[in-house]
Amino acid sequence: MRYRRTYPGFTLGAVAVLIAVNVIFYLATVVDSDLIRQLGLQPASLSERPWTIVTNLFIHGGLWHLLANMVTFYFFGSYVAALVGEGRLLLVYFLGGIMGNAFYILLGDPLVTAIGASGAVFACGGALTAMRPKLRVMVFPIPAPLPLWAAVLGGFVVISFFPNVAWEAHLGGLAFGLAAGYFFISGRRRS
């Protein structure tokens, strides 16, 4: 009798890879802060640095900015990937982040550099909200669970009032995520 033992291969999921890339970019900006200017999105300089419409999604202005985005992305992204797969999660992350940047280009200050994964994170939150609006979540420091839709929309409103926040990118990402989530659930209904 032959015995063959098989082990599933270890793979990093899309969420872990995106978090790792964000951390690597953050560490690079700690070493060379000029990377923030080179990789951040400044609408007035977009024609000179077109790559910044994507690279700014990996640049953060400090450790707390990075941690807030990555912890939130971990929870939203993991759930979205479980519902629709890692390929669609990547589409939501990147297209939502780019849509957020487009909103910033149209509505933001053309001379102010926008950085951070918040538009992409709000896209993941929007997609999850569309697919699971009644999901109950805990939001620090609120002591009772909230429906996901209230947490995501409430978070958008509250964060939009913070100084130096590119609310335009959050709005664009959220709008894209909601549309993507509705698209995903309507596709499931048809099949």
Between residues 187 and 108, the one the model is more confident about? 108
User: If we measure between CA atoms, which residue out of 52, 184, 183 comes closest to residue 112?
Assistant: 52
Position 87, amino acid: G
pTM: 0.89
Q: Is the bond into 141 cis (omega within 30 degrees of 0)?
A: yes
pLDDT greater than 50 at residue 3: no
11-50 confidence digits (pLDDT tens) = 569 999 999 999 999 999 999 999 999 999 999 999 999 9
10-20 confidence digits (pLDDT tens) = 556 999 999 99
User: If we measure between CA atoms, which residue out of 169, 171, 166, 165 comes closest to residue 152?
Assistant: 171
Q: What pLDDT does 93 receive?
A: 98
Mean pLDDT of the 145-159 span: 89
**Range in 27-31, 72-76, 111-115, 155-159 the model is least confident about:** 155-159
Report d(CA 160, CA 177) in Å as an integer.
17
Mean pLDDT of the 94-122 span: 97
Band of the pLDDT at 2, cuts 50, 70, 90?
Answer: very low
54-96 confidence digits (pLDDT tens) = 999 999 999 999 999 999 999 999 999 999 999 999 999 999 9
Position 187, amino acid: G
Q: 146 has which bridge partners? A: 137
Report d(CA 91, CA 110) in Å as an integer.
26
CB 121 within 8 A of CB 73: yes
Architecture of domain 14-190: Up-down Bundle (1.20)
Q: What pLDDT does 17 receive?
A: 96
The length of the chain in residues reads 191
Q: Number of C-alpha atoms within 13 angstroms, CB side, residue 126?
A: 27
